[in-house]
């Protein structure tokens, strides 16, 4: 999410995290451009009135670098000309502020459904199945109830099945925190998850 209003960004992030999304915040246009170019995101929520680099310029850049990346413009600008400009520049959706969070969430779900191939929307490792759109996890056809963080952790490990990932990588992606060598939060979550689901993810796991 590219948004310079910290209170609004925090509100949206909390709401989306409650729906099992992992959310990164860019506070200005230059940061948004860099993050959108360097990282794999399912959706970008983009404000137009950003410091350092305006949202339309960010949108143009993302369309060149990531042509298939869904972009939802969330802005106070309500003129038809602004909508037309953004849609013609490559935005996939446009929502004006003030907005309903439930509508924003529904639009994000629609963008995720349209943008992912079935093999990407649903992750499978052995008999473990994770539906990223419906936020549903199953093992051998039996549903597994997960918290938001447990779901995000399992998704990250499944997307990296067969690769080694570090604790620092997991904490940065799942918890949006800088790695602290004294924390054992990753170990706690993984050990609990293994006891509950008995999942084997090959060589994917937390390495020192």
Q: What's the pLDDT score for residue 65?
A: 86
Token pair of 17 as six digits: 């995290």
In the chain, list all ranges with CATH 1.10.10.10: 119-207
Residue 3: pLDDT band with limits 50, 70, 90: very high
Instruction: Indicate the pTM of the whole model.
Output: 0.61
In this prediction, residue 170 carries a pLDDT of 77
DSSP labels for 4-19? S-HHHHHHHHHHHHTT
Mean pLDDT of 136-160: 85
Choice between 67 and 174, residue whose per-residue pLDDT is larger: 67
CATH 1.10.10.10 is the classification of domain 119-207: yes
Closest among 60, 63, 65, 91 to 77, alpha carbons compared: 91
Q: Return residue ranges of the chain for CATH 3.40.50.2300.
A: 6-115
CATH T-level assignment (fold) for domain 6-115: Rossmann fold (3.40.50)
């Amino acid at each position: 999410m590219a948004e310079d209003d910290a209170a609004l960004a925090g509100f949206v992030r909390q709401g989306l995290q409650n729906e099992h999304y992992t959310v990164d915040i860019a506070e200005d246009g230059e940061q948004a451009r860099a993050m959108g170019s360097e990282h794999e995101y399912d959706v970008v929520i983009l404000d137009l009135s950003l410091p350092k680099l305006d949202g339309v310029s960010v949108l143009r850049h993302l369309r060149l670098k990531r042509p298939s990346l869904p972009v939802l413009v969330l802005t106070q600008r309500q003129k038809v000309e602004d909508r037309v400009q953004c849609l013609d520049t490559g935005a996939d959706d446009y929502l004006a502020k003030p907005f309903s969070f439930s509508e924003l969430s529904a639009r994000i779900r629609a963008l995720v459904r349209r943008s992912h191939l079935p093999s990407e929307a649903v992750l499978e490792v052995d008999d473990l199945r994770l539906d990223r759109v419906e936020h549903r996890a199953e093992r051998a056809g039996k549903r597994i109830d997960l918290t938001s963080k447990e779901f995000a952790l399992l998704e990250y490990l499944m997307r990296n099945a067969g690769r080694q990932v570090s604790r620092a990588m997991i904490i940065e992606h799942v918890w949006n925190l800088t790695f602290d060598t004294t924390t054992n939060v990753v170990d706690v979550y993984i050990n609990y998850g293994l006891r509950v689901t008995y999942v084997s993810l090959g060589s994917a796991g937390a390495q020192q």
